[in-house]
Amino acid sequence: MLHIPISRWGEPYKSMEADPVVHFATGETLAEVSRANAALVERDMRHAWRARAVLREIPIRELLQMVKKAGQLYTEAELPLGDGSQTPEQFVRMQSATTGLPEHMCRFNMTKNKFVLENMDKILDSLTRGLDLDFLTRGYGVESRGVPVSYQAQSPVLGLVLPSNSPGVHTLWLPIIPMQIGLVLKPGPQEPWTPYRMANAFIQAGVPRQAIAIYPGQGDIGAAVLNSCPKSLIFGGQATVEQYKGNPRVQAHGPGFSKIILGDDEVDNWEAYLDMMVDSIFVNSGRGCINCSGIWVSRHGRKIAEAIAERIGPVEPLPPDDPKSALAAFTVAGQAEGVWAAIETDLKEPGVHHCTERFGPRLVKRERCAYLRPVIVYCEGPDKAIAKKEYMFPFATVVECPQEQMLAKIGPTLVCSAVTRHPKFQRELADATHIDRLNIGPIPTIQLNWLQPHEGNIVDFLFRARAFQFDPKMVAI
Amino acid sequence: MSLEQRVRQARERLDAHVREIVHWHFSPETGTPFWLEKAKELPFDPLKDINSFDDLRKFPFFEDEWLRGGPVRRWVPKAYAQRPIYVFETGGTTGIPKSRIVVDDFRIDYEQFSDTLPEKYFPKGSNWLMLGPSGPRRLRLAVEHLCQYRGGICFCIDLDPRWVVKLIKKGWMEHLRAYQDHCIDQAMTILSAGHEIRCMFTTPKLLDALCKRLESENSSIEKAGITGIFCGGTEMTSQWIRFMIEEYLGPNVYIAPTYGNTLMGLAAAEMPTAEQNYKITYYAPEPRAVVQVVDFDDYDKVVPYGQTGRVLLTTLTREFFVPRFAERDEGERELPSEKYPWDGVSGVRPWRGIAAQTTVGVY
């Protein structure tokens, strides 16, 4: 049995307790993962300063080369894993087996991570707005225009409480090491694979092992990470987001409620945007926060909903190793049933129409997992309860709403793709503070430009711009 | 005497004790109003039909909801009607807490427990720190009594666990940390005041926090002069105790894990060791309390040794009779030992039926 130990700043530590990681379809135990205790995490944070110190000994340009190399190792090499090793194909199979994602989607996520690692220099250049990266190491510098600037790290490490259900989120923490900030990772119970594989790829590429700690465990470990790291990212549901709202130590990532808006000037051409709408809902099995869960239009709502339903309603679950498999399994017992029960309740509301019903039952139960086939719902008005919902499978509502009311009604929106040429509406969209990523034009919500910030600039989260004055006779810059 | 003989002898003592206690609680002269009333509903006569521990299966499972609300006097045996009565509470963050009356049980239980503590690490006459919950709880008085019984003076802190539970439920984690700091501040003040404290009671989370604070001040439990820790109140895992011994306490500090609550006495355990993979095995203070590990689906069936089941508690004292109470814990059934010739339980953790709802915060 493969055992994956806790990694205490690179030192393996086998706990007295371990949790099995189980294949969702066969029930086979693929590995056991050591379970950390909270006090161990908190005590280890004595060495958090060392994580940044060892990274600062390596120039950022060298770290950028290391992460590029790490991207290659991550996708191509057999890497150590616990008391064994893991090939890229084993990684794909294991990740699919425990998260329920089809294997080809796991492979795609690998290439996405590799792309980010390979282009890290451009990403950091963009996120820092062209800053000389040595300023991050030193904490200050003088720009070419002669202005002194200072960026002070707010934490020697970034804590991450990672999810089980969406391997795509790992791109968010990949830029941290090259910024000379250490990592404290709490993997999702069903997805230990990426944190361990990525950490091992970093280490094999030359990143000091003292820069990364990994603490698998239960809920108390997530709390310990948040408690002991001055800056953390956590992934969770809406309740998690609400809990940490306004907490400067924590950036909470939850549901995206991403949307597509067809403006009054373009909605009559809706058929031209059908592929874009389908992809936004359906790609990656609808599991990401950037997948579209609501299409807002002032007219043609029913026709649009029916057309999308026609395209994705018939899709059925296939084995995870089938290249055509498009639906991820729900691997947590009772979860799919709970989601479907909530949808059924919302479907009873007058003015709400289930457009995928005619393609057969949506809930498909298997021995150890369940699937939800795509659900498309047409809402006659914007105030229907289901118009505010998001689920982690291909689910979307098509909501009819007068354009002048849309921005007041759509609610928080991570990605908004607005198809309109109307300057006034474009200006209103640009001013809407409840929209995070704004796309103007027929850009799928799932199409990310990696050179742009996501849910807040991670550089701004970790570094504080502050005043800095110096006497050139005393400070050599 | 062989272990087998000792087990048999302990069982005979338990059966005799059951007869005595049932007679006490159900006889019109000494009995407990609650049980005398309950007897009218029972399809058997406790005075005639309960002759052994196994006969207790005739009773329905004890429902702790019976302990919620008054009149509390219905739990006082007639024989103790004129004695001073304590009431200890559990729960109570919202709604009416469960109450248990006590005359001397906490003294008796903790004096018995005292006999299990090694003199080397818990020296007689030494002063104690009670770093645990205060208020209407058994622990506060019981630890103080334990200390006094051993000839010491006990220093206590203020800690309201009901507020802690509220903070967690509200998600006020900053306040939770601040409250924990407040408790540790009190402990640090006591430890720094020259009171020659050698022993302490604390809970796992508070011990974590105290050790961390001491370390941040270049001190430790050992450097603070503490040689013996009596730990309880919440779940302790093998990993936790191993971490604590290896990284914070060192070889010169003894930690005595315990399992218990207001309804029972105190189940003791030997200090866990690396040789035994830091397994913590608790033994109830028979015959005053009995812990069984029973099948999750059939509480009448004790699981085989080494198997997992729910903890079923029976308390048998003259002050309090609790037959077959399904605890909110599960664990593995353990073999009798030379020191404790009856069943034990290891790996105690929240019962899977409620594990997700269990709130363990500062305390």
User: pLDDT value at position A238?
Assistant: 86
A186 located within any domain: yes
Round to whole Å and give the CA distance between A414 and A409.
Answer: 15
Do A274 and A347 fall within a single domain?
yes
Model confidence pLDDT, tens digit, residues A36-85: 999 999 999 999 999 999 999 999 999 999 999 999 999 999 999 999 99
Nearest by CB to A16, which of B212, B242, B247?
B242
Reply yes or no on whether the pLDDT at B3 is more than 60. Answer: yes
Nearest by CB to A37, which of B174, B211, B243?
B243
Reply yes or no on whether the pLDDT at A167 is more than 70. Answer: no
Reply yes or no on whether the pLDDT at A169 is more than 90. Answer: no
Do A230 and A282 fall within a single domain?
no
Average pLDDT over residues A299-309: 98
Cβ–Cβ gap A35/B239 under 8 Å? yes
Q: Name the one residue in this structure whose structure tokens are 């397994």.
A: B279
Do A240 and A273 fall within a single domain?
no
Do A169 and A44 fall within a single domain?
yes
Do A389 and A264 fall within a single domain?
yes
CA angle (B114 as vertex; B293, B358 as ends), nearest 5? 40
> For position A295, which CATH number holds?
3.40.309.10
Average pLDDT over residues B176-199: 97
Contact A196, A81 (CB under 8 A): yes
Cβ–Cβ gap B277/A17 under 8 Å? no
A472 located within any domain: no
Q: What residues in A contact B277, CB-CB < 8 Å?
A: 16
How many residue pairs from chains A and B have C-beta atoms closer than 8 A?
39
A465 located within any domain: no
Do A304 and A385 fall within a single domain?
yes
Cβ–Cβ gap A43/B237 under 8 Å? no
Do A265 and A322 fall within a single domain?
yes
Lowest-confidence region among A358-362, A471-475, B278-282: A471-475
Do A14 and A159 fall within a single domain?
yes
Average pLDDT over residues B69-94: 92
Which of A209, A224, A254 is the endpoint of a domain?
A254
Q: Name the one residue in this structure whose structure tokens are 């290391």.
A: A66
Grade residue B355 by pLDDT with cuts at 50, 70 and 90: low
Across A72-138, the runs of DSSP E, i.e. the strands, are: 79-81, 84-86
Q: Are strands B254-260 and B228-231 parallel, antiparallel or unpaired?
A: parallel
Do A8 and A55 fall within a single domain?
yes
The DSSP output letter for B276 is G
Which of A254, A284, A301 is the endpoint of a domain?
A254
Which of A254, A274, A299 is the endpoint of a domain?
A254
User: pLDDT value at position B91?
Assistant: 78
The DSSP output letter for B249 is I
User: What's the ipTM?
Assistant: 0.89
Do A225 and A358 fall within a single domain?
no
A280: which residues sit within 8 A by CB, 6+ positions away? Answer: A258, A260, A291, A292, A417, A444, A445, A446
Top residue of B239, B242, B357, B358 to mutate, by most chain A CBs within 10 Å, is B239
CA of B21 to nearest chain A CA: how many angstroms apart?
41
A119 located within any domain: yes
User: pLDDT value at position B334?
Assistant: 97
Model confidence pLDDT, tens digit, residues B296-347: 999 999 999 999 999 999 999 999 999 999 999 999 999 999 999 999 999 9
Average pLDDT, chain A: 95
Name residue A85's beta-bridge partners: A80
Tokens of A371: 């699937």
Cβ–Cβ gap A17/B239 under 8 Å? yes
A448 located within any domain: no
Q: Which has more pLDDT, B57 or A219?
A: B57
Give me the phi and psi of B110, to 5 degrees please. Answer: -80, -25
Grade residue B264 by pLDDT with cuts at 50, 70 and 90: confident
Q: What residues in B contact A223, CB-CB < 8 Å?
A: 173
Question: How large a percentage of chain A has pLDDT more than 90?
Answer: 89
The domains located in chain B, with CATH, are 3-357 (3.40.50.12780)
Q: What residues in B contact A16, CB-CB < 8 Å?
A: 237-239, 242, 277-278
CA of A474 to nearest chain B CA: how many angstroms apart?
34
Q: What residues in B contact A250, CB-CB < 8 Å?
A: none
User: pLDDT value at position B358?
Assistant: 43
What is the dihedral angle through the alpha carbons of A349, A350, A355, A360, rounded to the nearest 10 degrees? 60
Cβ–Cβ gap B237/A16 under 8 Å? yes
A457 located within any domain: no
Reply yes or no on whether the pLDDT at A33 is more than 60. Answer: yes
Q: Which has more pLDDT, A455 or B188?
A: B188
Reply yes or no on whether the pLDDT at A264 is more than 50. Answer: yes
CA nearest A248 in B: which residue? B174
Do A232 and A173 fall within a single domain?
yes
Tokens of B299: 């509480």
Name residue B291's beta-bridge partners: B313
Cβ–Cβ gap B212/A16 under 8 Å? no
Reply yes or no on whether the pLDDT at B363 is more than 60. Answer: no
CA nearest A228 in B: which residue? B177
> For position A20, which CATH number holds?
3.40.605.10
Do A212 and A311 fall within a single domain?
no
Model confidence pLDDT, tens digit, residues B103-130: 999 999 999 999 999 999 999 999 999 9
Grade residue A382 by pLDDT with cuts at 50, 70 and 90: very high
Reply yes or no on whether the pLDDT at B362 is more than 70. Answer: no
Model confidence pLDDT, tens digit, residues B126-174: 999 999 999 898 998 999 999 999 999 999 999 999 999 999 888 888 8
Reply yes or no on whether the pLDDT at B357 is more than 60. Answer: no
A469 located within any domain: no
Question: How large a percentage of chain B has pLDDT more than 90?
Answer: 87
Helices B161-170 and B173-191, axial angle in degrees (round to 10):
150
A306 located within any domain: yes
Q: What residues in B contact A42, CB-CB < 8 Å?
A: 208, 212
Grade residue B226 by pLDDT with cuts at 50, 70 and 90: very high
Reply yes or no on whether the pLDDT at B23 is more than 90. Answer: yes
Round to whole Å and give the CA distance between B237 and A158.
Answer: 28
Cβ–Cβ gap A226/B208 under 8 Å? no
Please write down the HEC assignment for all residues of B44-78: CCHHHHCCCCHHHHHCCCECHHHHECCCHHHHCCH
CA nearest A45 in B: which residue? B212
Global pTM reads: 0.91
User: pLDDT value at position B128?
Assistant: 98
What is the number of domains present in chain A? 2
Q: Name the one residue in this structure whose structure tokens are 């049932």.
A: B22
The radius of gyration of chain B from alpha carbons, rounded to an integer in Å, stands at 21
A412: which residues sit within 8 A by CB, 6+ positions away? Answer: A257, A434
Q: What residues in A contact B248, CB-CB < 8 Å?
A: 39, 43
Assign A33 to helix, strand or coil.
strand
The radius of gyration of chain A from alpha carbons, rounded to an integer in Å, stands at 23
What does A400-436 look like in DSSP terms, one character per residue?
E--HHHHHHHS--EEEEEEE---HHHHHHHHH-TTEE
Grade residue B265 by pLDDT with cuts at 50, 70 and 90: confident
Parent domain of A401: 258-440
